[in-house]
Every structure is written in structure tokens, then in C-alpha cells.
Structure 1
Amino acid sequence: MSAAKPTSPATKNNGRRKSPWPKRIVVAAVALAVAGGAWTYYRQRNAEDAAGAYRTAKVERGDIRVAISATGALSAISTVDVGSQISGQVTDVLADYNDRVTKGQVIARIDPSTYEAQIAQGSAQVSNARAGLATAQATLRNAELDYQRKSELAKNQLVARSDADLARAARDQARAQLAGAEAQINQQIASTQTSRLNLQRTVIRAPVDGVVLTRSIEPGQTVAASLQSPVLFQIAEDLSKMEIVLAIDEADIGQVKPGQSVNFTVDSFPDRQFRGAVQQVRLSATNTSNVITYPVVVSVDNVDGVLLPGMTANAEIEVSRRDDVLRVSNAALRYKPADDAAGAGAANGPGGGARGGLSGDLPRVAQALKLDMNQQAAFDAALEQMKQRMAARTAAPTAAAPGGGGGAPIIIGGGRGPGGGGGGNNNRGNRSGGAVSGVARQRMQERFNQQFGSFRSLLNDAQRKQWDAEIANLVTARRVPLYKLVKGEPEQIVVRVGASDGSWTEVSGNIQEGDEIVVGSGRGTK
């Protein structure tokens, strides 16, 4: 049995020694994590501070409804005033307010005794005239016989020629008396017929089917129709169809067309919406205190009969409606940074300028035309040529004057815009300005016709009409600058604006749903 070897101190120390690197790596990782968190917090805080310097609103998708507000009174489409053609005392009133009457129904009577007496008197005069006629006939027969006898005797020279002439004159006088008696009979018959008509008119009948709106007579009242026909009843022909006459200002009448939808409310049913349609735009202007208005007739269905004549209607004529379009708050159109040069160069980027925006809209127009292969190929070729020409035009002024005014965006438009002119920004002068006149628009239209002439010649009549209308809309569309918040700073973009309802405005161009658009400066709620 051998003895155990003693363990040396050196061997014991080598077995217990540990490496210091794992601890160092852990410490370094913790330090890096803390530094990374601090840097991320710093960047987020700076971004939040930069973003908080501006009030923004997101680009949304939604509907824009443009309407013109006006008030008017409901009335029946056809209202008939029933009057009296004769004078006399009313004996019976057979219809009252709200009564439904049918055509020919007796609704009132006037005392007929006066006209019955006139008929009796006329009949007697006719009889007297007939008696006078019989006397004239007898006188004529005697005169003719006398003339025949004396004319024969005058031929045989048995009587003087003057006696024959006197007999002939007496015959002619008898003939005239007979004609006068016949005329007197006809006159008396006509007079009697007038009395008979007046007797019939003592019975007042409803001229149409309808509802009695007003009644202005009572039994025993005397009607005097010597100067003008008095109105006894007012009958609405059909209350299931009604109309509203709206007074539209001359500034808005150009947007109103027959067939447009109309929504209105009445005070009796404030929570109910009624619908109608524009039936007629009348040309008879009314001047009230130098305010020119035009009457617009709106047809309304009243099948349930809840609408009554005379109710005041608060109407809105829907002149334009855009569904599911990109829209921004009108405050974004009014915003202008203190330093107008901020982000100005961004408008020259892809799709930023007015003409670049047109090239971006053309494919959408072509897609709506449902082109065939040949038409699509012609369109693609024309579009590519247009882009090349625009790129050449854009590069030329930039190379000639770097950093100068050659790259300024072209803003088409002028006049009244959706952003309004509120505040001190002078929105109309600074932002839309009318930089491109009507002549320039016409030239742009001609250039489009030249560049896309071969493509346009391949379209059928319906496609060509739609293409021309869309191009005209694109050329004449108003373009304004907006300021999109990019990395905490406003960047200017030029967009095409469309319909506006006073709160939202349709936009298109280099803009997408969800983009943050600057609407004001300073901290505030987005």
C-alpha cells in the first residue's frame, strides 16, 4: 500500500482561479442598453417637441356634400280660385274648409229669382217679336201681289208707270220690315239665352277635384261682380304633390340645375328630413334692396299628407357631392408659415408642380375610359413624351439659374376658393393669385390636344366626350400649396382642390390618406 501524494499549494490555487471577462461583458451590455435607451428617449423627445410646434390635421377619406341653403313656403302645385260671374245674394254654402270636393259638385248657390224674371221677360219679348214677324210677312205678301198686278197693267198701258213704281217700293219696304222682325226675334232669343246662362251661374260648382283651402262667403252675403269676379273659394287640386318656391341668390343660381336633390325640414317636424327635386329655375329675377334673387321651384311628394300648404321649408339644394375622396380641413388651406420660403423647393419634386400633378392624374382619367390595347398603347406613348418634355422644361431654367426663381411652383387658379380669405394671410392674393390667366389655360388645353391628338383620334364619341371633359377639369382646376409635416418640419406640396362644403375640401395630387398637414403654429391638439 502506497502512501498518498501531498497536494502542492500551487496546484490548489490553479484549480480555483476564474476568468474576469464574463463580468466585464455584462457590465458593458448594461451600459450600452442604458445609453441606447437614453438616446432613443432623447430622439423621441426632440421629435415630439418638433411636432408639438405645429398643429396638424390628417388627410382623410370621406364624403363632401356642397349645398345651397334657402327658405320657402310649401304650396299646392295647382290652386284654383273659384269666383262668381254674377251678382246676387248667396242663399246656400255647401262646402267648408278642408272639405274634399269633386269636379262639378255644387258648393254654393246664389238667389236665382232675378234671372228667372229676366228669362220670363225675354220669353215674352220673343213672343211679341214673333207676332211682329207674322204681321210683316202678311204685309209683304200683299205688297208683292199689288206690285204684280200693277206691273202687268203698266205693260198694257192701263195704269200709269208711276203707280207700278210705287207698288214696287211698297214691296221692298215690306221685305225690309220682315227682315227687321226676324232680327228682333233673334235678338230677343239671344237676350233670353244670356239670362238662362246667368241662371245657371247662380249654382257655383267645383271646377276641379281637390280640397277647399279657404271659404270667403257666408249664407245671406251679397256678391257684387260688376267690376271683378269675387273669390268665393280656394281649392287645392292635389295635395299629394306640392311645391316650394325658393329665392336663390344670384351668386349661387349658376350652380342650380333641374333634377338636383333637395333636402328640407319644416318646423312642425324638426327631426324629420323631407326630400324633393329641383323642377324649374325661373328667369324672373327679383330685386329686393339691391339683392337679386331668382325663384327656384322644388317638387315634393306628400303621399302621407303631413305637409300642409303655407309651411315654411328650410331647404338645402345639393349642387355637388363627392363620395370617398381625399379631403383636408379648410384650416390647412389658410395656413401659411412665417417664413414663406420654408419647404418651397419641395413643390418641385415629383408631382409637386402643377404640370407634374397633371401627368399623375392622366392615368386615372385613362383608366375610367376602359381603353382597349391599341388605345392604351397610344396613351402610354403620348404620356411618356409629355413627361420627357416636362422634364426638359424643368431642367432648363434650373440649370440657367440655380437656386433662383425658376423652380417656383405654378399655381393655377384664382377667385373664390374653398379656403376662404379669413385671417391675415390674404388667402386669395397670396395663395391662388391667378398666376395663370384664361389665355394660359387655353394654351395649355391646346398643348394637350396636340400631345394626345393621335390617342384622342382612336376614341369613340362617348370616350372622346368624357376625355375632353376630364382634361378641361384638370386644366382649369385650382391648385394651392399645403404644408405636410415631414420629420417635424413643414414641407410644401402643391395639390389640386375640388369641391368644398365649408369645413372640408377635396384634394388630389402628391398627397395620401393619413398624411399630417399643418393647420397652424404653436402647441395644440391635433
Structure 2
Amino acid sequence: MDTPDLSRLKIDRSAGTHQGGLKRPRRRRWLKIGIAALIIAAVAIALVSRFGASPRVETFTAVTAYPSQNYTMLNATGYVVAQRKAAVASKATGRLEWLGVLEGSRVKKDEIVARLENSDVSAVLNQAAANVKVAQANLEQGMAELRDAELAYRRSQDLLRQNFISASAGDAALARYNKARAAISGFRAAIAAAQANQQNAQVAVDQTMIRAPFDGVVLTRNANVGDNITPFSSAIDSKGAVITIADMETLEVEADVSEANLARIKVDQPCEIQLDAFPDLRLAGVVSRMVPTIDRSKATLLVKVRFIDRDPRVLPDMSAKVAFLSQAVPPQDRQSVIAVPPAAVTDRNGGQAAFIVTEGKVREQQVKIGRKVGELIEVQGIKPGDKVVLHPGSQLKDGDTVATAKK
């Protein structure tokens, strides 16, 4: 048997040396470049995060505060109302002929503000006035007749004593005198009746004149010239009240107070009133009365607060906030101040400072602190609306760039 040739089973490595041997160094070179790039990027990120990133800070916007908050025991909301308010109408029914006021007009008591057509009742009044004159003329005529009858009676008595006339003639003169005197009473009664008719007609005319019941300001006009005024009916196309007026001197605030807080308020307790329309306006008030009944559905008591400070801008139905105070606010505490949290003030260079954020940079501002206002503190040196840094660290410097932390 022939021996097999094992030399053919030998692996030829010469080809691999020329082909695979060229690829391995190239792969290793790209791998080294990638690793180096990753290392450089990591170092750059670390340097940026260490030296280039802006620190995040919390800020607070400086606000306007009132030291009277230190005396506040209880807060409530309500509305401004007029204690004296009237929907003015006429007792008569007719077409509105003249309206002499507008919204906002000031009127005096008994001033004529509107008038209905009154030609018919005016004619009745004129007729009644003429009847009074007729009755007065009849009285004058009767008085003349009485004087003549009295003279005739006296003459008849003298003649009767001298027997110049008969007794019957004397009796006739006496009867005439008595009749004339009785007629005077009738004429006077006729005058009284005519005057009563005139007064009745005058009342009818006056009812067509719509007058202001008190000094006040016109709030609304509910009718126009030409409208039919029917105050005691709900007829179609008819109006009831012509205008609505209010006495601005009787404005007060009605506030609902929870019955759980009734022990904290009392009559004549000082208050401070703030109007939603004028947030910077604080008016002094006092509890005038407490309605002696509880609203069962809301478990509240209606408290009425009278204005001590008057302001012409206060109008009925304005929304208002009432602060019930433990004592009257001293004059020095009635002015507003600028306030920030105590954490916004720090000690710097032997003084006190706050850091104001403007367009991403902080500005160190020297400030002077004052009294506490609730949880805030009064500061001087900054303006309302300035954003101040809370808890500024010792590393924070004037001009540093910061990022505002989102809350």
C-alpha cells in the first residue's frame, strides 16, 4: 500500500500575511481615534459643567405691602351698597313727556327729574281754581247783602220803637238779616269745597311730576321720553320706575362672615376696606351693624361696614375686601411699603444687600430693612416688580450670569 502525501494538508499562511495583515492595523487605528474623541468630549463636558454653566437661583418679585396687615384678624369679601337707594316712579299713569337727568346726574331732594303728560289733569286743576274764585265772589256778594240787611234791620228797630212801622215790617227786616248771615256760612263752605277740589286736582298734577325723594346721584335711567309709565301694572311696553338714584353718603360694604368667626368681630370694630377696582386704595371703615340672623344655606352672617374715609371713586356694587382689625391703624402704618422675604436680604461688606435679576444677570443693590409685614420684611432701595434672588450664596457676585429656577 502507498503512503499518503501529508504535505498537501499544510496551511499556506503566505496569502493571509498579505491580505488580513493589512486590515488589522487599520482597524486598530480607527478604534484608537474613536476612543480619543470620546475622552476629549467627556473632558469638555466636564469643564463646561464645572466652569461654564450658569448657577440656578430662586427669585421673588418685590411687592407693595401695607403694615396694616399686622393688625388684621379676619378677612372677608363683599360688595359696596347704598343704604338709601330708590327706584323713582310716578303714582300716575301716562306717557313720559320730559326727562331732565342722565346717568351720573346729581339731584336735590324734591327736584323735578321727569314729567308725564298732564294736559287733562291740568285742565281739571284750572277748572277747580276757577270754581274757588266763583265761590269767593259769591262770598263777597253775600257779605254785601249781609251788610245791607244789617243796616235795614237796625233802621227798622229804630222806627219800630217810634211806632213809625208795624211789627211785621220789623220782623221782615230781622228775617232778611238772619237769612243773609246764614248765607255767609254757606258761601264759606262752598269756598272750602272748591279749595278741596282744587287741592285734589293739584295732587293729580303733582303726581305727573316725578321728584327726587332725597339728595343723590342717578345710577340708571329705566325709561325714555315717549314710554308709557305704569307703576302699578305689568302691561306690555310699559315702564315702572323711570330712574334709580342712590345717596352716595350712605355707601357701605356688605360682607359675609362665617359664623365660626363671629367671636372675632363686633360693632364699632375698626376695619380696612380695599376695592378690587383700585388695589392701591385702602380706606378706613368701622363695623356699623350685624344683621341678627344667619344664612342657613351658607352658614354666614351679613356684616355691614361703614366708610370712614370717603372717596368719590367708590361706586355701588363694587367688589371689596374687608380686613377686620384688632385696632385702628396708626397714621404711620397706612402708607404702602416695598416688601420681600427675609431670605432675599444678605450681609455684604458690612451692610445689607439684595441681588436683583435683570436679563439673566444679577446686580447687587444695597438696601435698608424695616419692620415686618406679615411674612415679609420692608426694604428700601428696590422697586415693586424687581426680581430678587432668594438665599444668595457667598459665591454670588455682582454681574454674575444666573438662570432662574422654574417653580
| TM-score w.r.t. length of structure 1 | 0.40
More strand by share: 2
More helix by share: 1
Asked which structure has the greater CA Rg, the reply is: 2
